[in-house]
């Protein structure tokens, strides 16, 4: 959910609610003094007048694009997350199902202006906490090295290892699970 805030002469504030990329819509409560208005439909608009009253109106995608197209175009892309999996006990060998994810990641990065990346390595629950902490960090560093080879400056990449603390699939301690052996890359 994104709300655009704009101003004009007789209106103190104008709030327009935009849908999420998947089409879902949240909601915003607009207040001014004792006045309150809820907007919870895509492209709905609330205008707060200088006297404190709030007018609610419906708008549409085309109208919002006409009025705010330049503003929307200047907004940074929404964060995206990619997960790649590793084979057991490796910080460099990807699971076969991750090749398509890596290809998609490369495509997104090629079109992302000045990306900031957070890479978090994870392990399954096999092995000691100390071993898994080191392995998860090596996985994150391995992905960071790959990203640098794709042209992303190291200063734009943060890495962390979470060991076995945040499994994707809950298992008993000591139980291996392919989906938990991963690195999660968030692009902002």
**Residue 108 shares a structural domain with residue 180:** yes
Residues 33 and 48 in one domain: yes
Q: For the chain, how many structural domains are there in total?
A: 2
Region 152-166 average pLDDT: 97
- Quick one: 59 and 86 in the same domain? no
Q: Are both 167 and 111 inside the same structural domain?
A: yes
Question: Which residue range(s) make up the domain with 61?
Answer: 2-74
Mean pLDDT of 159-165: 98
- Summarize the confidence of residues 162-185 as an average pLDDT: 96
pLDDT band at 8 (very low <50, low <70, confident <90, very high): very low
My answer on whether 143 and 104 are in the same domain is yes
Same domain, yes or no: 123 and 182: yes
- Tokens, residue 28: 């915003």
Whose CA is closest to 3, among 110, 87, 20, 156?
A: 20
Mean pLDDT estimate for the chain: 91
Q: How confident is the model at residue 4 (pLDDT cuts 50, 70, 90)?
A: low
Q: Is residue 120 pLDDT above 90, yes or no?
A: yes
Candidate from 3-12, 23-32, 40-49, 160-169 with smallest mean pLDDT: 3-12
Closest CA to 131 of 88, 171, 93: 88
Are residue 22 and residue 65 in the same domain, yes or no?
A: yes
Cβ-based burial of 24 (10 A; exposed 0-12, middle 13-18, buried ≥19): exposed
- Shared domain check, 88 and 179: yes
CA atoms within 13 A on the CB side of 155: 1
Q: Is residue 67 domain-shared with residue 90, that is, in the same domain?
A: no
Out of 64-78, 89-103, 119-133, 152-166, least confident range: 64-78
Pair (99, 175) in one structural domain: yes
64 and 133 fall within a common domain: no
Say if residue 78's pLDDT is above 80.
yes
Single pTM value for the model: 0.71
* CATH value at residue 142: 3.30.1330.60
Residue 3: the pLDDT is 55
């Amino acid at each position: 959910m994104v709300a655009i805030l704009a101003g004009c002469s007789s209106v103190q504030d104008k709030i327009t609610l935009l849908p999420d990329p998947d089409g879902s819509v949240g909601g915003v409560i607009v207040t001014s003094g004792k006045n309150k208005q809820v907007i919870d439909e895509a492209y709905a608009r609330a205008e707060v007048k200088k006297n404190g009253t709030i007018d609610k109106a419906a708008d549409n995608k085309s109208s919002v694009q006409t009025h705010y197209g330049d503003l929307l175009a200047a907004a940074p892309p929404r964060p995206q997350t990619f997960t790649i999996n590793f084979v057991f006990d490796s910080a460099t060998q990807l699971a076969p199902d991750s090749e398509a994810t890596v290809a998609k990641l490369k495509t997104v990065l090629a079109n992302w202006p000045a990306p900031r990346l957070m890479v978090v390595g994870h392990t399954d629950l096999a092995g000691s906490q100390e071993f898994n902490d080191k392995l998860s960090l090596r996985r994150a560093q391995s992905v960071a090295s790959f990203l640098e080879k794709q042209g992303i400056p190291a200063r734009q990449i943060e890495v962390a290892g979470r060991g076995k603390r945040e499994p994707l699939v809950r298992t008993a301690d000591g139980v291996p699970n392919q989906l938990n052996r991963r690195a999660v890359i968030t692009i902002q």
